[in-house]
A and B are shown apart, each in its own frame.
Chain A
Amino acid sequence: MGMVAELERRQSAMELHIINSIQQSLDNNQPLSFQALASLRSLIINPATPDSTLSSVLDALSRSLQLNRDPVFLHHALKLLRDLASHRPHLSPFALDLLRSDSLFSSASPRLVGESLSVLLSLASIGNDIDAARFVSLCLGPSVSVRQCLLRNAEKLVFRESVLLAVFLGFTRDPYPYVRKEALDGLVKLCKNGDFDDRDVIEGCYCRAVELLRDAENYVRSAAVRAVCEWGRLLVICSEDMNKQDSSDAVFIQLGCMVRDMSVDVRLEAFEALGKIGLVSEGILLQTLSKKVLGINKDKAFKPVEGLDISASAVAGAYIHGLEDEFSEVRMSACYSLRTLTVFSLRFACEALNLMMDMLNDDSTVVRLQALDTIHHMATSNHLKVEKIHIHRFLSALVDSSSVIRSMTRKILKLAKLPQFKLFKLCIDGLLGNLEIYPQDEADVFSALFHIGRNHGKFTVHIIEEVSPEMEPASGGKLSFDSTRVAAFLVLAISAPLSHEKDVSAIPPRIFSYAVTWLGRISYGLSDLMNQEKLLAYLSECSRSSTISLADFKINEALLTVESDAPIPLCSKVDSPVSMPFWKDSGGTSDYHHQEFLSLGKSAAHAEYELGEHSELRKYVNLIFKKVKDFWSLVELGCTTEAFKGIRACKEEVASFTADSPGSSGAVAFTLQYLQVIGMLAKVWGHLRPTKMLNPYGVGKLELLFAKLDRRLREISNRFIGLSKGEELQILDLVLVACLLRLSKMEICCCNAAMKLLLSTVAHVEYLHKEGSIELSNFVTEVKKSLHDADSSSSSSTCKPLLFKKLLDSFSLQQFVLYGTPRYIHAELAVPSNDSENPLPFIPGIPASIPLAITLHNVLTESRLWVRISMNEESTQFVFLDLNLIRNEKRSINVVREFTFVAPFYRTPKAISFTVRASLGLECFRENIDRVKVFGGPKCELTYLCPEKEIFLCKSTEC
């Protein structure tokens, strides 16, 4: 102990000595020696130095800064300040103040300014910014490196958009190319985050970016491409409805000029940008696939901005060039951007398909895979028309040496709808060839055969008739079913009864019995559709039935249990080869780089890969979410109909998922729900946002839409448990948008309620934000900020539709990424043996008892459940369901509970018979009911867990 005390004493004596000597030299107006600085540093980095000493160190430093302007000294002082700020966070404000002081920033040495800037940036949190005037004056200084550094970090330093815009736009004229690049990048960021509606500004920025497309430096040109894309999109949004198409075309052509650039980076950017321009007219799109200038485009010139005339011929053959580019990343990017454009025109899709088929011959596996992915995308958006010339090339991919390619090809085949028997036969032959060369593909080939057979009932029957001799047991009664080929035909045959075509003639029942001998292998292949038991049941059912009974109701019923039936031939297998990790492929070591390089997957997809446990379903679902994000950008552009089409297709696709594995049902239900919410949101958005368009819907209709939207939102935020905070935040984003949409429309707004919800949601967001330390989206930050501003400016929360409208501009849909497996809260409600023939008895005026058989899924014990029984709108009654009191009849914790609950119905009318409607509702804690309270009912809004059940009651005859 004595030693320690002694040491401490000695140390403090030393500290005192150092400080004193420094003070002394300062008092004599002597600058600090380097030795003194070194001893100061030792004090600073010693964690035992007390704060009091450090503040005198700070004092000394600030005094010496005033004394000495020698750059070398300043450089050391700067380092000391940085150390101080990083070692002692609570002293950092003082250190930062010193850093910002004139002595460093007004120094003549640009190196010092640059250093102090980088120290500031590394330490300062947002808000500790240097003010705009200082920022501008530093920018205008002669040092180029400081200028570049300032521009790169401008967003962090200054908040005012007008200042940033002026600075960025101005520096696009700088003679130093790196400054120009930073300025352009700044403009891009500004355009993404900012809110501009001044057409002059937009045009100015756009034109400047277009000028820089001809810059001498590659990196400036690629930055310019990004800027043209972003500001061009803004230009499209702000142009009048009549000119929207033209200006969109013009921006597309402008970008198309860059695909022949000599720099790979510029070409990559150009193709990425082309894919982002949503609305492009067919003529222009077709021109990109032809190097010769098409007739319709011969003299077509566009003038998006006065003085920027551009002719359609400039875009000639853009995709031809892109697809035969030397660099595989450019080819991939071209394939990918084609994918988004094929949605708009069937003709374009057909021509693009031609090229895609050629791409199947590419020497890079990744490019081939991307091409197949694009084809698959066309198939899901119903823009795939396979012709005979294509089919050969396409089927050759079935014997490709890469298993990913083969599996992707089969995936597309599963979706195909072929018009002719010939083509069908070719496909079957292709699959058989695949099976022959690569026996390891058996399971998936079977699955493909099954799907394809089911999509083409008549052709299947036809082909089975042709090959049936092959399938018969060889003479002598010995079964020779050991050929895989026969098995393949059997799989094809058994798919026929499931065909959606009406008049499919029969497959001989004995075929089904043959198939039973292959049960194991077949059921392995069809595991995505049905399990072995169901398959066996199905096969035996079919083999027993005579020809007529095949089309019988009973069969169909059996099938319905077999799978959730897809109404269109759009049934995809859950595992998607799209998301198969590319780098597992042996040949593509370099391609892996490209994959990363090309930001196709973006961050979400990567996060998805990094996840330890790969759930196939989740991957697929996340792909859907990615699509949804694409669709939303269409909504923003005003193409609501197209977006709907896409969302609907997604819904159908999701609906066709089977939810066999535990937990998957939650994900599927969640995705469906999410799609529905987005759909509703898009509908409302489409009617509210473009103010120039006349509202086709009246206020009443809109009110209905809002009600629906609210219900959907309530469901998605309350009926799922097990969502992460990040996921929850994303949903809250949507709730906020809905609130804002409502608030931005004066006519339908019940201001108080919406405002209340908005505030409570924001509060919840903040809570989650603090809890989970998750970064908030830009949009939420905006909302918070403006709410805060509104609060401070006027205490009364008045309606400011304009403000809310402005806020909505900052909204952009983020891609939802599902990490966990959400559980879906739902319930089943039944009244045993009750229908209109067998009503429950009651005595008028006396409460009637209604026995309800209730099954709850995933309902937590602490949640508040209500049984809602209503006869008509006026007489609705709520009965509380206390889960703690309910004896769990079937023991399974928290997941499924089944029990009977006798609910009383009090207000029985004086009538002979009546019906009531019952349903189960879950109380949502965040939404208070604002209307007149129902006596004894729930305090908050309910989310209903099951469809309403109609219950029949009849006056008891016994009394």
Chain B
Amino acid sequence: MAIDCLVLGAGQEVGKSCMVVSINGKRIMFDCGMHMGYTDSRRYPDFSLISKTGDFDNALTCVIVTHFHLDHIGALPYFTEVCGYKGPIYMTYPTKALAPLMLEDYRKNMDRRGEDEQFTSDHIAECMKKVIPVNLKQTVQVDKDLQIRAYYAGHVIGAAMFYAKVGDAAMVYTGDYNMTPDRHLGAAQIDRLQLDLLITESTYATTIRDSRYGREREFLKAVHNCVAAGGKVLIPTFALGRAQELCILLEDYWERMNLKVPIYFSAGLTIQANMYYKMLINWTSQKIKETYATHNAFDFKNVRNFDRSLINAPGPCVLFATPGMIVGGFSLEVFMQWAPSENNLVTLPGYCVAGTIGHKLMSGKPAKIDLDKDTQINVRCQIHQLSFSPHTDAKGIMDLVKFLSPKHAILVHGEKPKMATLKERIQSELGIQCYCPANNETVTIPSTHYVKADASGTFIRSCLNPNFKFSTCSSTDKSYLDSNKSKAVSRLSVSDDRATEGILVVEKGKKAKVIHQDEFLHRLGEKKHEIQFAYCFPMHMARTEDLSSTSHMLCSFDKCTLISRLSMILSDELSEGNILDLGEELQVESFRVSVCSSDNCPHRLSSSLQNGSESVFFCCHWSVADEKLAWKIISIMKNSTL
């Protein structure tokens, strides 16, 4: 069986995440996003690749959406209402709650820009009715064979990674995630699962970020210095996520430093979003969850509502205003008022789209900004650039891949050259096969295939009882880091072979069955054969008086002496194995050696004694398992003198 992954979006790019995975006969669409950079048909994934006829209900088992960002959910109303998909859609509760806000906001902006409408308000509402909400770690049985489960992903509130399992094939689609916590969201959290495939985002495929404390410190310092000097701080942000994080940070700092400067939220989406956050405490970080009983972290004590009359009120203040990047709206209005004073501060988000005022401010501080032909803004205020990001960095991706250790990995949602570097690292450092397909490509990976077999009673009983063995002999052991080098190691190791004692028997016309190895012979009606090696060879002997000249005259006492001498030699030279002296015989594992007293020993290769009086014949037997050991002993014996 194989898993086929058709990449409809976010292949070697960031935007319109969409991936259709066929796994053991089920087809799941992960995310259904839109590309914000295009206004033509490229904005949506090419759904026709899923089904030529447009019969999506039969082509897809379900749609899973990881979080409410538009590049992950933007095309959903279009897909359900315009393309006509009517099957189940799964997303987490917060995503279901917040997605309509996002979509509606986008639709309004689209209207404003005068683009042709792709979907209507009704479309959004209708679409949301089809959504089945899921909780974290709740296993949902989509149909008889398909199980899905959501895991916490950090990133934004309600973001989840999804685990999907059909029969024996299992995979995880991460969506966007963050491996380090921030002030309001926790780090991604997932169990150690047995996976055939991991599809992970790779926004920061090569970046390694340092501690978030540094970023927080810089931000707080800038804000504090500004308000301490009586200035006003403008924080243009996006309504959901960053605003709450920064606000918690400021609130905490205000509390700790006993600051009384007012913090304002511009009315609108942010207030509504805060309300949602207050209800979705379960999805926030540990700290907020813990203190929730005494104080809801989103009940901002120092935060007030802003109204326009306050723009020019005297005294310092901090203001959160939408939209981010200062593209227009209220944040632009305030910016125009505050920019001319050098006391004031504007913080900019980490990323601003080219053409926005935010972008102009970021690329070298201009003294004047032309808003349009008539309006010109003098910019004298301070600029601080935020470098917060809710995506994991390269180390986080590596850590997750290492922790899950899937058999294969696919990278999406990133830039092509950086993804290639990361792919190399995953393959060389972790030894995991990795792919980064482009849009509209299909990757096929093999999946685990299991055979159902009966087991015999003897085998089951033998499996119930522990059966461990200790050994000090050489064994091959893979190193922890999967360096692909297997080495012969000699050390005390323990093994439990209950399962390997079984033998899989497939008889014609019958179901496969596992039986215990002891039963096997019985069933075949055969006897057990063992391969034994034997070798008889002379060994040099020091001339001593008390030993008689010919070998056949050796009495049993002399044999014992010879054997004990041999044992001494071997114990000096041989590092492994347990040497047992059994009187007339010496045993090391299965290797046995004794003095050969018969002149026509069949195992003797050359019967002639070079120096008859100084040699004595030894006859050795060993089984095939100890062949190496046997030859080692024989070479020791040949090279030494008794």
How far is it, in angstroms, between the C-alpha of A254 and the C-alpha of B210 when the chains are bound? 22
How far is it, in angstroms, between the C-alpha of A201 and the C-alpha of B489 when the chains are bound? 14
On whether the beta carbons of A291 and B210 are closer than 8 Å, the reply is yes
On whether the beta carbons of B211 and A320 are closer than 8 Å, the reply is yes
- Number of inter-chain CB pairs below 8 Å: 144
Residue from the list A291, A361, A393 in contact with B209, Cβ < 8 A: A291
Asked if B522 is at the interface of the complex by the 8 Å CB criterion, the answer is no
On whether the beta carbons of A399 and B257 are closer than 8 Å, the reply is yes
List B contacts of A147 (CB < 8 A): 466
Residue from the list B181, B209, B395, B493 in contact with A316, Cβ < 8 A: B395
In chain B between 452 and 472, which residues have their CB closer than 8 angstroms to a CB of chain A? Answer: 461, 464-466, 468, 470, 472
On whether the beta carbons of B494 and A170 are closer than 8 Å, the reply is yes
Shortest CB–CB separation between residue A199 and chain B, in angstroms?
9
Residue from the list B213, B489, B491, B494 in contact with A324, Cβ < 8 A: B213
Residue interface mask A116-160, B partner, CB < 8 A = 1 = 000000000000000000000001111000010000000000000
On whether the beta carbons of B191 and A262 are closer than 8 Å, the reply is yes
In chain A between 571 and 600, which residues have their CB closer than 8 angstroms to a CB of chain B? Answer: 589-590
Shortest CB–CB separation between residue B192 and chain A, in angstroms?
5
Asked if B212 is at the interface of the complex by the 8 Å CB criterion, the answer is yes
Chain A: which residue is nearest B493 at the CB level?
A204
How far is it, in angstroms, between the C-alpha of A833 and the C-alpha of B245 when the chains are bound? 79
Residue from the list B208, B210, B493 in contact with A208, Cβ < 8 A: B493
On whether the beta carbons of A291 and B208 are closer than 8 Å, the reply is yes
Asked if B487 is at the interface of the complex by the 8 Å CB criterion, the answer is yes
Asked if A239 is at the interface of the complex by the 8 Å CB criterion, the answer is no
Chain A: which residue is nearest B287 at the CB level?
A363
Interface residues contributed by chain A, number (CB under 8 Å): 66
Shortest CB–CB separation between residue A369 and chain B, in angstroms?
13
Shortest CB–CB separation between residue A194 and chain B, in angstroms?
15
Shortest CB–CB separation between residue A302 and chain B, in angstroms?
11
Residue from the list B252, B285, B480 in contact with A210, Cβ < 8 A: B480
List B contacts of A590 (CB < 8 A): 290-291
On whether the beta carbons of B466 and A310 are closer than 8 Å, the reply is no
On whether the beta carbons of A326 and B464 are closer than 8 Å, the reply is no
On whether the beta carbons of B468 and A305 are closer than 8 Å, the reply is no
Shortest CB–CB separation between residue A493 and chain B, in angstroms?
29
Residue from the list A291, A327, A359 in contact with B213, Cβ < 8 A: A359
In chain B between 390 and 432, which residues have their CB closer than 8 angstroms to a CB of chain A? Answer: 393, 395, 399, 402-403, 405
In chain A between 351 and 379, which residues have their CB closer than 8 angstroms to a CB of chain B? Answer: 355, 358-359, 361, 363-364
List B contacts of A254 (CB < 8 A): 480
On whether the beta carbons of B211 and A323 are closer than 8 Å, the reply is yes
List A contacts of B405 (CB < 8 A): 214
List A contacts of B216 (CB < 8 A): 361
Residue from the list A305, A317, A326 in contact with B395, Cβ < 8 A: A317
Asked if B608 is at the interface of the complex by the 8 Å CB criterion, the answer is no
Residue interface mask B480-491, A partner, CB < 8 A = 1 = 110100010111
Chain A: which residue is nearest B396 at the CB level?
A260
Contact A355:B186 (CB < 8 A) given known A170-B468, A260-B399, A327-B286: no
Shortest CB–CB separation between residue B97 and chain A, in angstroms?
23
List A contacts of B493 (CB < 8 A): 204, 207-208
How far is it, in angstroms, between the C-alpha of A213 and the C-alpha of B495 when the chains are bound? 17
Asked if B599 is at the interface of the complex by the 8 Å CB criterion, the answer is no
Chain B: which residue is nearest A170 at the CB level?
B468
Contact A169:B220 (CB < 8 A) given known A326-B186, A590-B291: no
Asked if A674 is at the interface of the complex by the 8 Å CB criterion, the answer is no
Asked if A785 is at the interface of the complex by the 8 Å CB criterion, the answer is no
How far is it, in angstroms, between the C-alpha of A399 and the C-alpha of B466 when the chains are bound? 62
Asked if B105 is at the interface of the complex by the 8 Å CB criterion, the answer is no
Asked if B611 is at the interface of the complex by the 8 Å CB criterion, the answer is no
List A contacts of B483 (CB < 8 A): 309
On whether the beta carbons of A400 and B256 are closer than 8 Å, the reply is yes
Chain B: which residue is nearest A400 at the CB level?
B256
List A contacts of B187 (CB < 8 A): 325-326
On whether the beta carbons of B487 and A306 are closer than 8 Å, the reply is yes
Shortest CB–CB separation between residue B263 and chain A, in angstroms?
17
How far is it, in angstroms, between the C-alpha of A261 and the C-alpha of B402 when the chains are bound? 10
| Max chain A C-beta neighbours (<10 A), residue from B213, B461, B468, B495 | B213
Asked if B183 is at the interface of the complex by the 8 Å CB criterion, the answer is yes
Contact A401:B256 (CB < 8 A) given known A173-B496, A307-B487, A328-B287: yes
Residue interface mask A193-221, B partner, CB < 8 A = 1 = 00000001101110110110110100000
How far is it, in angstroms, between the C-alpha of A316 and the C-alpha of B425 when the chains are bound? 15
On whether the beta carbons of B494 and A204 are closer than 8 Å, the reply is yes
Chain B: which residue is nearest A325 at the CB level?
B181
Residue interface mask A314-339, B partner, CB < 8 A = 1 = 10110011011111100000000000
List A contacts of B393 (CB < 8 A): 291
How far is it, in angstroms, between the C-alpha of A260 and the C-alpha of B191 when the chains are bound? 13
List A contacts of B296 (CB < 8 A): none
Chain A: which residue is nearest B297 at the CB level?
A363
On whether the beta carbons of B480 and A262 are closer than 8 Å, the reply is no
On whether the beta carbons of A309 and B479 are closer than 8 Å, the reply is yes
How far is it, in angstroms, between the C-alpha of A327 and the C-alpha of B187 when the chains are bound? 10
How far is it, in angstroms, between the C-alpha of A254 and the C-alpha of B220 when the chains are bound? 37
On whether the beta carbons of B481 and A314 are closer than 8 Å, the reply is yes
How far is it, in angstroms, between the C-alpha of A142 and the C-alpha of B463 when the chains are bound? 9
Asked if B518 is at the interface of the complex by the 8 Å CB criterion, the answer is no
Asked if A292 is at the interface of the complex by the 8 Å CB criterion, the answer is yes
List B contacts of A203 (CB < 8 A): 491-492
How far is it, in angstroms, between the C-alpha of A625 and the C-alpha of B492 when the chains are bound? 40
How far is it, in angstroms, between the C-alpha of A169 and the C-alpha of B479 when the chains are bound? 19
Residue from the list A142, A208, A260, A402 in contact with B494, Cβ < 8 A: A208
Contact A401:B489 (CB < 8 A) given known A308-B479, A314-B481, A393-B217: no
Residue from the list A173, A260, A310, A323 in contact with B403, Cβ < 8 A: A260
List A contacts of B189 (CB < 8 A): 262
On whether the beta carbons of A166 and B466 are closer than 8 Å, the reply is no
Residue from the list A170, A201, A392 in contact with B496, Cβ < 8 A: A170
List B contacts of A455 (CB < 8 A): none
In chain B between 203 and 244, which residues have their CB closer than 8 angstroms to a CB of chain A? Answer: 208-214, 216-217, 220-221
On whether the beta carbons of A306 and B491 are closer than 8 Å, the reply is yes
On whether the beta carbons of A201 and B191 are closer than 8 Å, the reply is no
Shortest CB–CB separation between residue B218 and chain A, in angstroms?
11
Shortest CB–CB separation between residue B180 and chain A, in angstroms?
6
How far is it, in angstroms, between the C-alpha of A172 and the C-alpha of B187 when the chains are bound? 31
Contact A326:B480 (CB < 8 A) given known A262-B192, A359-B213: no
Asked if B333 is at the interface of the complex by the 8 Å CB criterion, the answer is no
Chain B: which residue is nearest A211 at the CB level?
B480
List B contacts of A532 (CB < 8 A): none
On whether the beta carbons of B495 and A166 are closer than 8 Å, the reply is no
Asked if A51 is at the interface of the complex by the 8 Å CB criterion, the answer is no
List A contacts of B480 (CB < 8 A): 210-211, 213-214, 254, 257, 308-310
Shortest CB–CB separation between residue B154 and chain A, in angstroms?
9
Chain B: which residue is nearest A437 at the CB level?
B258
List B contacts of A915 (CB < 8 A): none
Chain A: which residue is nearest B251 at the CB level?
A363
List B contacts of A142 (CB < 8 A): 461, 464-465
List A contacts of B209 (CB < 8 A): 291
- Closest 7 A-B residue pairs measured CB to CB? A204-B492, A358-B213, A326-B181, A173-B496, A170-B468, A307-B489, A142-B464
Q: List 25 A-B contacts (CB under 8 A).
A: A140-B466, A166-B470, A169-B470, A172-B494, A173-B495, A200-B492, A201-B492, A207-B493, A208-B493, A210-B480, A262-B192, A292-B208, A306-B487, A306-B491, A307-B491, A324-B180, A326-B187, A326-B287, A355-B211, A361-B216, A361-B253, A393-B217, A400-B256, A437-B258, A590-B290
**Footprint of B on A, CB under 8 Å?**
139-142, 147, 166, 169-175, 200-201, 203-205, 207-208, 210-211, 213-214, 216, 254, 257, 260-262, 291-292, 305-311, 314, 316-317, 320-321, 323-328, 355, 358-359, 361, 363-364, 392-393, 396, 399-402, 437, 589-590
Further pairs besides A216-B194, A307-B487: 13, Cβ < 8 Å: A142-B464, A170-B470, A173-B496, A260-B402, A261-B403, A262-B191, A262-B192, A309-B479, A310-B481, A316-B395, A324-B211, A358-B217, A401-B256
